[in-house]
Amino acid sequence: MTDYQLGVMHGDGIGPEIVPASMRVVDAAVAAAGAEPVEWRELPLGASAIEDHGSAIPPATMEALAGLDGWLLGPYDSAAYPEPFRSQLNPSGAIRKHFDLYANIRPARGFEGGTAIAPDTDLVIVRENTEGFYADRNTHAGTGEFMPTPDVAIAMGVFTRPAVERIARVAFELARRRRSRVTVVHKANVLQLSSGLFKRVCLEVAEEYPDVAVDDVHIDAMTVHLLRRSPAFDVVVAENMFGDILSDLAGELAGSLGIAPSLNASDERAMAQAAHGSAPDIAGKGLANPIAMMLSSGMLLEWLGTRHGDPRATDAAVRVEAGVRAAVRAGVSTPDLGGSASTGEFTDAVVERIASGA
């Protein structure tokens, strides 16, 4: 395995609990795979960075990220930041935009022994991460929102062929490694130009993958289909906002947002980031579920293994997920999943199972 240098940004709320827990699990998996230890580099970000450096994401942090192999980003609570930081692009958005992390990969897979609404769920939402209907991603400067009068607010949605082509290829390549089916989600019947372009370009890219089955579904119908028959879906590709909404729904179907992992990636860089928020109401109480952050960290290892042709990194990624699932299967879980384990106790259980090869 290549010697990797990984950045660590603990973030706010439960971040300083679940990120170190994930680092422990990665270290255990890497050791079990017989590889050299990861070199961790902690970087300031979030409320503590505002206090110590006058910025939620200091320039030195952004500069350091550019020289690392990948990053772990804990949740943040930008809504609680003082002005002017509250109104600025949040730390995750700033990083994604700066490094053009255009693909947001969000798996949803039920846990044996968990509390999933649809335990047979096993799908991946591939979300375009740079354009669409989220205004803060749509302009070179400014937020993409404006008010011509105090009573009128306008937000721009942007769709471009190059951005749709590259996210579609991520979805189809991923489907080839899974069950070879892609569902394109859109609203082309109403948003004929913007969402219509997304649908059309995705279907054009599909012609390059004759071995992958493809269909397309309107966003409103897709919410119903996920509720009724989530096991029927494999890889779902969607624009920014639609993908965000569907991935939260899929995460709940699989168990909870506390187990929903996510990876933000470009062709050259990747950042592990749980799909959930900072949960300030339970911060510091040992109640936080670290599964989403652990699985996100495993996704980063898998991405590194694929990018560098490194089978030990891929092996370590498999061990992370296997250890987490083995712990839940054995009845060890945090209170949000119906268990009684603390964050630390659950982490101990996962590390123990990775070390024993369970």
Active site residue 120: no
74: which DSSP letter?
A: -
Which of 12, 187, 310, 336 is flagged as catalytic? 187
Active site residue 69: no
Which of 27, 100, 122, 248 is flagged as catalytic? 248
Active site residue 187: yes
Active site residue 12: no
Closest by CA to 73, choosing from 225, 323, 284, 297, is 297
Active site residue 244: yes
Distance from C-alpha of 261 to C-alpha of 294, rounded to nearest angstrom: 8
Which of 76, 134, 216, 310 is flagged as catalytic? 134
Contacts (Cβ under 8 Å, ≥6 apart) of 322 = 353, 354, 358
Which of 12, 216, 244, 310 is flagged as catalytic? 244
Task: Name the token pair of 61.
Answer: 């942090």
Task: Name the token pair of 121.
Answer: 């769920």
Largest interatomic CA distance in the chain: 64
> 345: alpha, beta or left, given left = phi > 0 and alpha = psi -120 to 50?
alpha
Q: Scan for tokens 């699990």, then name that residue.
A: 25
Burial class (CB in 10 A: 0-12, 13-18, 19+), 215: exposed
Q: Scan for tokens 């960290």, then name that residue.
A: 297
Query: For the chain, where are the E strands, in sequence order?
Result: 5-9, 39-42, 70-73, 103-109, 122-128, 145-149, 152-155, 181-186, 213-218, 235-238, 263-265, 270-273
Burial of 236-270, coded b for 16+ CB within 10 Å and e otherwise, reads bbbbbebbbbbbbbbbbbbbbbbbbbbbbbbeebb
Which of 52, 120, 215, 220 is flagged as catalytic? 220
Instruction: List active site positions.
Output: 134, 187, 220, 244, 248
